[in-house]
Amino acid sequence: MIIAVLRYISKYWGYSQDSEIFLRKVGFNQINEQIQQYSSQRRYPEAIQEIKKLLEKDPSNFYLLFCMGNLHHRNNNSNEAKIYLNLVRKQIPEQSEIIKYIELYNQVVTHLPNSRTDVLNIYNPDIILIQTPGWGINTPPLAAATLTSYLRKNNYIVFPIDLNIEFYLKSPPHFKEKWELDQYNFWNMPESMDQFLRYFNDEIEKIIDLIISTNTKIVGFTIYESSEYISLHLARMIKHRQPEITIIFGGPHVSRFLKGPYIIMNDCVDIVVQGEGELTLNEIIKCLKNGDSLSNCPGLLIQSDNKVYDTGERESIKNLNELSPPDFLDYSFEVYRTPTRLPIMSSRSCPNKCIFCNERPFWREYRSRSAENIFEEIKIQLIRYPFINFIDFQDSLVNGKIRELEHLADLIIGSGLKIQWAGQAIIRKEMTIELIQKLKLSGCVCLAYGLETPSEQLMLKIGKLMSKGADVDEIVKAHGKAGLGLVFNFMFGLPGETEGDAFEVLEFIRRNKNYISAVNPSASFCGFAPGTLVFDNPQQYGVDMGNGGIYWESIDRMNTYPIRLKRFEDFCRLVQELKITTTYPNTIFITRNLTLGNYYFQIGDKNRAQRYFKAWIGEHPEDISVQKALDQMQIEI
C-alpha cells in the first residue's frame, strides 16, 4: 500500500524528479516490503515506526508525511493524521490535486468518524458503496466488503461507507433501540422514518456534501427491506444536487420479483442490479467509463420513457472459490457490537425448496466453496485482522455439503487454530453425534437450524427436502451430549399446519428446554413474498392470497392471520416461562393492535379495525397516517 501511495502522489506533485529515483534516494525500497507487510496486516504502529525512521533523515519529505498521515488515520488516530496531512499541505502548490484529498479527509473524520478507508479512496473513486440503516450492527457489512474486494481486484477505486453504523452510534436511546430484531417494523413505517430523517437532517446534508465533493460518478446502495426508505431518500438528495451521478441499487429486496420494477421507476435510481453483484457491477463501471450502452449488460433493470427494460439473467458465478476474501480494511471493527467477530460466506442459495423462501430465485442454484478455500480465507483474514477470534458464517447454511463441512473441521483441528465459529444449518439425518462432536472440537460454538416445525411430515410438505429421515430430537440430544450450542428458527401457521402441529411445537420446546440455547420465532409468523412458491402458486398449497402475503388465509379458513398471531404469542409466553433466550423477548406481539387493525380493515370488518386502530393510537399518538385512517373510518361508519 505504501509504495502505491507514494507513486500515486508523485503524479500530482509537479516536480520533474522521477518518483522511483526519489524512493531509492530515501532508502524506501530497502524496507518497503516490511512496511507493506505491516500495513496489509493492520499492524499500523509498526509501519508508523518504520516511516518515522525515514522522517528522522528527511523530516520535510512530503511523501513520507502523507504516508504517515494515512497510517495514523487507519490506526484510528485522526488528530495525528491531521497534523501530518496539514504539514503536507503547507509544502505543496495550491493547484495540486493532493489538496482535495486533505480537504476531504477533514470532512470524512468529522462526518464518518468510523471510516478507516485509505485516504486515496476518498477523491475520484470509481464508485462509492453505501449501506444505510437499518441493518445489522454486529459486524461490518459482508456484502459491501465482498463487492469492494472484487472491484479492487479489478483495479477500481472503491470508497465504502457504512452509514448504518454511523447513524447507530450517533442515535439517542429511543432510536438506538430500533436496531434490535424485535423492532424491525420501525424501518418499514414512513412516519417513523420521516421522524428519523428529520432528526438526522443536518448530518445527512453534510454527508451528501461529502459524497458530491468526492467527484465520484457512481454511487451504489445495498438494499434490504429495512434500508429501502432511507436509501431512496439519500438517492433523491444526491440526484437533486448532482444529476450526473449514476445511482445503482442492488440486493435481494430489489429483485425483479420483489421491489425492483417499482424502484427503477424512481427518477433518482438509474440501474437496479439483479442477483449477485460482482460481475455485473464490474461491467457497469467499465461501460460507464467507456461510454458504452448498458443494454447489452445482463443482470440489470433500467428504465426509459417510463418503461422498465430487463437486460436478462447473468450467468451465476460457478466457482465461488475464485472470489477473493472480503476486504474489511475500511471499517473500524471496535465500534461494532461484536468487534472480534469476522463475517464469512461459505455458500450461496440453498439445496432445499422451502415454499416460503425467495432466496433461491435470487441466488438461483446452490453453490458452495471447498473446505480448503474457506480454510485459506480464514488464515488470510486472521493475518489481516489478528484480533479476530470468532468466525461468523453468514450464509444460509454451512452443512449443504456434509463432506466439505467435516473436512473444514479436520483442517481447523489439524492446524491448531484457536478460533470459535458459528453458522446456520439445515435439519438433515447426517448431523450425527460424531460429526457434531467434531464440529465442537474445531471451535464451533453454535449452529442455528432453520427448523420452522419439528414435524417431519410438515417439513417435507413445506419443501425441506434435505430433512427426510431426520430425527430432530436425536439431533437435539447430540448437541446436548457434545455441548454444542443449538438455536432453532420457528414459523407459525405454515400451510397444512394443524392445531395438533402447533401443540407439538410447544411440547417439543418443553421436552428439549435444557438443550436449546436460544430460539428465533418469526415475527411475520408465516408470510409469502413475491418469488416464493406459495405466492406464485397459492391454490397448489390450499392458500387464498386475496388479502396479500401477510394476511393470507387457508382456503378452508382454518389458518388466518389472528390464528397465526395467537400461535406466535403462545410460543413467546412459553419460552419466557421456561427462561429460554429468544430474539423476540416479548409475550405480546408489539405491533399487534396495528397489524390486527390492518387485517380487519383488509377483510372489510371496519368496526373491529377501528377498535384496534384506536388502541394503537393510544400507544402511538404520533402515528399520523393511522389517525387519518381512523378519522375516515369514523366518518364512514
Residues 214, 177 contacting (CB under 8 angstroms): no
**Which of 606 and 506 is assigned the larger pLDDT?**
506
User: Which residues, 6+ apart, have CB-to-CB distance to 228 below 8 Å?
Assistant: 253, 259, 263
User: Residue 66's pLDDT is what?
Assistant: 84
Residue 27 has pLDDT above 60, yes or no: no
CA distances 72 to 15, 53, 68, 92, 185, Å, are 26, 15, 6, 20, 40
User: Nearest-5° angle of CA 589, CA 590, CA 592?
Assistant: 60
pLDDT 10s digits, 58-89: 888 877 888 888 888 888 888 999 998 888 88
Region 493-506 average pLDDT: 97
Residue 167 has pLDDT above 50, yes or no: yes
pLDDT 10s digits, 526-571: 999 999 999 999 999 999 999 999 999 999 999 999 999 999 999 9
DSSP assignment, residue 531?
Answer: T
pTM score, two decimals?
0.90
pLDDT 10s digits, 397-452: 999 999 999 999 999 999 999 999 999 999 999 999 999 999 999 999 999 999 99
> Which residue from 561, 568, 556 is spatially nearest to 608, judged by alpha carbons?
561
pLDDT band at 11 (very low <50, low <70, confident <90, very high): very low
**Which of 78 and 493 is assigned the larger pLDDT?**
493
Percentage above 90 pLDDT, the chain: 77
pLDDT 10s digits, 337-367: 999 999 999 999 999 999 999 888 888 899 9
> Which range, of 37-51, 530-544, 569-583, 605-619, averages the lowest pLDDT?
37-51
pLDDT 10s digits, 275-314: 999 999 999 999 999 999 999 999 999 998 889 999 999 9
- Taken in order of first residue, the domains within the chain and their CATH numbers are 1-96 (1.25.40.10), 108-338 (3.40.50.2300), 340-590 (3.20.20.70), 592-637 (no CATH)
User: Nearest-5° angle of CA 626, CA 205, CA 168?
Assistant: 65
With b meaning 16 or more CB within 10 Å and e meaning fewer, what string describes 326-360? bbbbbbbbebbeeeebbbbbbbbbbbbebbbbbbb
> Which range, of 100-114, 154-168, 404-418, averages the lowest pLDDT?
100-114
User: Residue 23's pLDDT is what?
Assistant: 38
User: Which residues, 6+ apart, have CB-to-CB distance to 577 below 8 Å?
Assistant: none
Helices (H) and strands (E) in the chain, counts: 27, 18
User: Residue 309's pLDDT is what?
Assistant: 93
Mean pLDDT of the chain: 91
pLDDT band at 18 (very low <50, low <70, confident <90, very high): very low
Collapsed DSSP state (helix, strand, coil) of residue 501: helix
User: Residue 32's pLDDT is what?
Assistant: 60
Collapsed DSSP state (helix, strand, coil) of residue 486: strand
CA distances 262 to 255, 271, 301, Å, are 10, 12, 10
Residue 150 has pLDDT above 90, yes or no: yes
> Which residue from 485, 495, 415 is spatially nearest to 449, judged by alpha carbons?
485
> Which range, of 178-187, 241-250, 264-273, averages the lowest pLDDT?
178-187
